[in-house]
Amino acid sequence: IALAQGKVFALIDDITRVEKFEIRTPNAICGVRGTGESVEYANGSTVARCFLGVVSIQGLDANGTLQKALELLAEQGVTIGPEGLLGAPFSISQAARKAWEEDFLMHVEYIQSVGPSGIKPHQASAGAQPLDGSSIYGGDGSIDEPRQEIYSAEGGDDEW
């Protein structure tokens, strides 16, 4: 997922079923290794948080050159500055943990309760695009087809 602005919460239930899952901001790449994470990009900085499992983080400079890499463990976060430099890992606050649980896990519980046939396409946020460059949007702005991953995005006028 390319994230130009806003926040993405992700929970990968079975990483072996997903070939590759990354969230890319202008100054960082966040790769999932069986985890629950949030990635937020605003004002030139990325904040990545790992709630479950492990998240691999690598900074990107203005030219797209890879910078230092870091693996976050559960309950850790890191800020990546505009130059792609990673700060020191920090402990996730109780407020951030609670927001992840309430905002994201609520969506997971709903999806599990209605099953795949009960999920209706939602309007996609304008800034979200798959990394392979393909479109996920239908002519009316809805998602073209069901996807393995579950997304929750903030920062636009809607959530999906």
Average pLDDT of the segment spanning 133-146:
37
- 10-68 pLDDT, tens digit each: 766 665 565 677 889 999 988 876 667 888 999 999 999 998 888 889 999 989 899 98
Query: How far is Cα 130 from Cα 23, in angstroms, rounded to an integer?
Result: 9
pTM of this prediction? 0.62
Q: Are 131 and 2 in contact (CB under 8 A)?
A: yes
Reported as a pLDDT band with limits 50, 70 and 90, residue 114 is: confident
24 to 6, 87, 88, 97, 156: CA distances (angstroms) = 12, 17, 20, 22, 17
Extents of the domains making up the chain: 2-154
- Local confidence band at 84 (pLDDT 50, 70, 90 cut-offs): very high
What's the mean pLDDT in 119-143?
42
CA atoms of 140 and 117, how far apart (whole Å): 20
H-type helices in 61-158, by residue range? Answer: 94-99, 105-114
Domain 2-154 classification at class level: mainly beta
Q: What is the pLDDT of residue 23?
A: 86
Q: Token digits for 41? A: 């990009």
